[in-house]
Amino acid sequence: MTEDTKCLNPKSLTCDQFQTRLPELIGSEENLTAHPHLHQCPICGALLADLVSITQAAHMLFPIAEPSESVWVQIESAIEEEKGCLDPEDEEK
């Protein structure tokens, strides 16, 4: 087995290889807890647990909230009001 082939086998990833791929794996929304490397490596498992904790804490600090319907109504009203204030000559240009 060549080194390149070994790198493609998730069971044989080194910690460096796994950690290098970690951003890609997290971005893929793959269930990382099922990743074969984590079954063999408590260090990377602890790293992933820490990253999950940090992510959850960050979401609590900066919750993602949708603006209320009134915000969209106000924006739409402001746009319509601005359109009404345009000089008719500007609209033709």
Q: What is the domain partition of the chain in residue ranges?
A: 3-92
Q: How confident is the model at residue 89 (pLDDT cuts 50, 70, 90)?
A: low
Model confidence at 1, in pLDDT bands (50, 70, 90)?
Answer: very low
> According to the 3-state scheme, what is the secondary structure of the chain?
CCHHHHHHCHHHCCHHHHHHHHHHHHHCCCCHHHCHHHHHCHHHHHHHHHHHHHHHHHHHHCCCCCCCHHHHHHHHHHHHHHHHCCCHHHHHC
> Could you tell me the pLDDT band of residue 88, with boundaries at 50, 70 and 90?
low
> pLDDT, tens digit, for every residue of 16-71?
999 998 888 887 877 888 888 888 899 999 999 898 888 888 888 876 777 888 98
